Chain A
Amino acid sequence: MSGTAAQVSRVSGPLVEVTGLTGIAMSQIVQVGEHRLPGEVVAINGGTATVQAYEYTGGVAPGDEAVSLGEQLSGRLGPHLLGAVFDGLLRPLAGAPAWLDPAASSLPSSGQDLAWAFTPSAREGDHLGPGAALGAVSAPGGVRYLVLVPPDASGQVRRLRPAGQVTGQDVIAVVGGTQVPLVSSWPVRQRRPVARRLGPDAPLQTGQRVIDVLFPVTRGGTSAVPGGFGTGKTVLLQQITKWCDADVIVYVGCGERGNELAEMLTELAGLTDPRTGGRLAGRTVIIANTSNMPMMAREASIYSAAAVAEHFRDMGLHVVVVADSTSRWAEALREFSSRNGEMPAEEGYPASLASALAAFYERAGRFTTLGGQEGSITIIGAVSPAGGDMTEPVTSYTQRFVRSLWTLDRDLAYARHYPAVSWAGSFARDAGLIAGWHARNGDPGWAARRASLTALLAEADRAGELAELMGASALPPRQRIAILAGRLVREGVLQQSALSQADAYCDQARAAALADAVLAVSGRCLELAGLGVPADQLEDHDFSPLLRAKEDAPSAGRVREIADAVLAELREKPITAPGQREPGHD
């Protein structure tokens, strides 16, 4: 520790002012008080440094000692991250006590004592550049964990560990005079360097139909999920955490509930990854800064997550960062800036909120890594608008910076239509590009299917508004069928219960088949109405096999069989006079 002693002069919650620090720079870590609570320098004015403390500062007094560590806020990166739970500063929570008292105990340090099997892939004497692979360790969840030459090192491999057990304290190699430890430290607010940023190419497959079929996001893209409380943000994000086709997920519970994190941990531990056969927990890194944990660590947790994601991206992996909720992070920014006496902009948020949000989402992308591999980071963030007001600053700024928006609608949630993604209020700016990818990968109908579904839903909404005004029976048949088709799309395709054994996850082929089935049946209804079949007869038809297909049909093939049966029944619909109903069809 290159410490210089100094003194606390002012304490107001997480804001601590310190005088007498010499050679201090912005963003450096300073420890304050008897219990050496960590904080970060956020302003320097003459001889006074303003420190944002990451722990509860009760008892810290003017005159208490302050020590500069001479380093920036850093997180420890290594294989110990996978399958484990950390606080906002990346300190492991598994070995910590039941109550987090900053004075009573320091958290155990990260990843020191665990052991992994290491297999070298480079050789002593090789000349390697930054980001090149030295070898791999066996990580839980089947993640291909590579040990890389650090970004600032290169040269000849002088020493390389042979195959065998390694721990978090071990040095794996010496490259060009630099020691390469298995677990290294990185200043989390700084991006880890890459060779090149690439454009998006492929969709992230989430297993959630409304996303994959209507509002997809690319690997390396960004998406935001705004919605009032109880609209299903957390459930949707947890579904994506469980089922999306990424290699590593970094889940940040940022200022949200403790119980729901506990529930997710329990569930992840019991689930198997359908792609690797490993435990799903093994590909997941969880950063837990619940709403009652120190607010300023919430601010840091977002950057810790980004640094962890970049660490895995550098190995050539596809990483997804899920942040629930970015609004709580923004509130931490607001809290500190207001204590610090900054000029407030909208709703008390600092004027820098927009740029801070933009910079966070810019850590997403598809890249060529320093080692020449392709890796990506997708960022998905929940937004919790105060009072459900979508014009508030965090929601309105975020909408501008993301490529996809999944707006959750209170009325849909209230009607138990889950996921409550509003088709009118959501967008996917990369849909065209994703259509091209699907066309190249065996699904040329993707774009047309999406267009038909969107058109149907819009028409159903218009017809529904008319029906509310004048009663459904007063509408012309075409519009009545539109209302019927809208219902089939909503119930047969878009609704997807997170609690369902069979349907919580839906692959692309089955999603496409379900959508095609509903489109074919809707089209047939419209045709029949055109031929004179009365609308009530079509409305009364029993479509339940079609609507239950998402639960009952385990494969795309089975969905098509069900659709064919429904179509056949409809084909038999005689063009009868109204009133003569077929038995058994109501």
Chain B
Amino acid sequence: MTETAGGGWARPEFTAVEQLRGPLLIARGVKGVGWDEFASIRLGAGELRHGLVLEVNGDLAVIQVLEGTAGMDPNDTSIEFAGSPLRIAVGPQWLGRVCSGRGEPRDGGPPVTGELTMPVAGFPVNPALRLPPAEPVLTGISVIDELTTLVRGQKLPIFSVAGLPHLELAGQIAAQASAQGEPFSVVFAAMGLTHADAAVIRAILEERSAAGDLVLFINLADDPVIERILTPRLALTVAEHLAFTLGRHALVVMADMTSYCEALREVSMARGELPARRAYPGYLYSDLASLYERCGRIEGLPGSLTMVPALTMPSGDITHPVPDLTGYITEGQLVLSADLHARGIYPPVDALSSLSRLMRHGAGPGRTRDDHLDVAAQTLAALAAARRARELSELIGSAALGDSDRRAIRFEQAFETTLMNQGPAESRTLAETLRLAWQVLGVLPRRDLTMISASAVDRYYP
């Protein structure tokens, strides 16, 4: 599909390949080729590869080859430049499709084409025309909907570590999320997934895909690493059009962002760029922002774009550049806990470390239910008390705990087993989630519910 774009301006083919190094190809004798232009590269055997221009200097062009340079013969390679940065077709024809990380069919269907194309790099949204996010996206997952409500136009990442079910959770969110009956579409960008993981994701998303509500881009672990740099950009370009032109609420789920960042690092290294922290390029923050900031709501336009990127923290280190820079850009985070996972709780969300910064705009009176924000605050306060009580009991022994400390610990247990624990394909309505939240609050005596209005307590306390 990608070649359709800009094909009209195609330039003569160049064959002088000066150098091949890692994912980079340096072509000599080019003329009029612009920075960030898209290129098609034909190998002697007829195979077609793709590239992006990283630098132009006189008649030299440095091209990043998406599929890698393996097997390329400098004397038997020709390059055709598209005349513009990469564009892809956009439109509803993507819905229901499963494609590669470069947008080629993986579902046996025809290539996705269309009249209307957009540049995959996107354009920055005018900040003066952004509307503050204000309505919820419900995921059907109780712990998220109750305590860290996702808001339309928000970017809320999942921070995980290897071995935890973040992919299942990301898949479940993609399969279940909705915007209170308004038109809703999901674009899932999978990056660096193993074949086994990809099969899991395809199974989770099958139903929604069949219903024509979802686009799936899959870049597999053994697909070209560099292609990964393109995958989220394709997903976002398709999603932006679904949202702001077709007026749908679009949710983009991206996993695993750590694989994406590693691909970026690989290109940076190959170019001999100056490494910053952990050898990631110094522009990692801005690069991630060019993806994450594509979500939002825009004055005068319908729809919204919401994003859930999932990433694994290498060695569980939250100060690692990938989670750190993500945290600096996104609006909160969902942190998964190895401890909860070990105890068999799904989804294992560490509620106290998780935060949806925009929740107070998207939940509560007029948004979800009047008591929602107070219930969430009270639940978090009780969970914090439970954590203190557990720490105390480790110090002085559980026998020495007072009544209120014991109650806090009982509350936490009830919360984990009744509210948090949920089937991987179970979608709960908000009413059901709040009913369970009140059932858990019932462990506490009425007089302890100081953060909730008396009328709400009267109405909902079990």
Contacts and interface: CB of A to CB of B under 8 A. Distances in A.
B105 to A, nearest CB: 27
A517 interface: no
B329 to A, nearest CB: 6
A509 to B, nearest CB: 30
B448 interface: no
Contacts of A64: 34
A263 to B, nearest CB: 4
Interface in B287-311: 289-290, 292-294, 296, 298-301
Given A10-B56, A12-B54, A387-B277, A101 B123 contact: yes
B56 A295 contact: no
B127 A290 contact: yes
A386 B323 CA distance: 11
B276 A348 contact: yes
Contacts of A348: 274-276, 282
B126 A93 contact: yes
A328 B124 contact: no
A292 interface: yes
B54 A288 contact: no
A291 B325 CA distance: 12
Given A58-B34, A257-B331, A291 B289 contact: yes
Contact of B300 (A60, A93, A98, A100): A98
A344 interface: yes
A186 interface: no
Contacts of B123: 99-101
Contacts of A338: 273-274, 282
B34 A60 contact: yes
Contacts of A389: 319
A512 B433 CA distance: 45
Contacts of B293: 257-258, 290-292
B209 to A, nearest CB: 29
Given A98-B125, A255-B289, A259-B153, A387 B324 contact: yes
B369 to A, nearest CB: 19
Interface in A249-296: 253, 255, 257-259, 261-263, 265-266, 288, 290-295
A359 interface: no
Interface string B313-333: 000000111001101110110
Interface in B185-215: none
Nearest to A94: B128
Contacts of B327: 228-230
B283 interface: yes
A97 B285 contact: no
A300 B282 CA distance: 19
B33 A61 contact: yes
Interface in A286-318: 288, 290-295
A259 B358 contact: yes
A93 B285 contact: no
B367 interface: no
A429 to B, nearest CB: 28
A81 to B, nearest CB: 14
Interface string B17-45: 00000000000000111111100000000
A388 B319 contact: yes
Interface in B248-306: 273-277, 282-283, 285-286, 289-290, 292-294, 296, 298-301
A219 interface: no
A292 B36 CA distance: 17
Interface string B322-351: 001101110110000000000000000000
Nearest to B295: A259
Interface in A55-80: 56-64
Interface string A370-392: 00000000000000101111000
B374 interface: no
Contacts of B54: 12
Contacts of B283: 295, 331, 335
B91 interface: no
A261 B36 contact: no
Nearest to B129: A98
Interface string A142-175: 0000000000000000000000000000000000
A334 interface: yes
A11 B56 contact: yes
A56, A291, A344, most chain B CB atoms within 10 A? A291
Contact of B35 (A12, A331, A386, A387): A12
Contact of A58 (B55, B85, B298, B395): B85
Contact of B321 (A331, A335, A344, A387): A387
Contacts of B395: 471
A79 B157 CA distance: 41
B360 interface: yes
Contacts of B321: 386-387
A13 interface: yes
Interface in A402-447: 414
A356 interface: no
A294 B289 CA distance: 11
A288 B124 CA distance: 12
Nearest to A234: B357
Interface in B393-432: 395-396
B370 interface: no
Interface in A22-64: 56-64
Contacts of B289: 255, 290-292
A226 to B, nearest CB: 13
Given A292-B290, A387-B320, A85 B35 contact: no
A457 to B, nearest CB: 21
Contacts of A11: 34-35, 55-57
B59 interface: yes
A96 interface: yes
Contacts of B48: none
B58 A59 contact: no
Nearest to B277: A386
Which 5 residue pairs are nearest across A and B when measured between Cβ atoms?
A291-B289, A387-B319, A292-B293, A93-B128, A262-B130
Interface of B: 31-37, 54-59, 84-85, 119, 121-133, 153-154, 244, 273-277, 282-283, 285-286, 289-290, 292-294, 296, 298-301, 319-321, 324-325, 327-329, 331-332, 353, 355, 357-358, 360-361, 395-396
8 contacts: A11-B55, A59-B84, A63-B32, A255-B285, A259-B296, A290-B124, A335-B282, A387-B320
Interface of A: 9-13, 17, 56-64, 85, 93-94, 96-101, 228-230, 253, 255, 257-259, 261-263, 265-266, 288, 290-295, 328, 331, 334-335, 338, 344, 347-348, 384, 386-389, 414, 471, 499
Given A265-B128, A292-B290, 9 more contacts: A59-B37, A94-B128, A228-B324, A291-B286, A292-B294, A331-B286, A347-B277, A384-B328, A471-B395
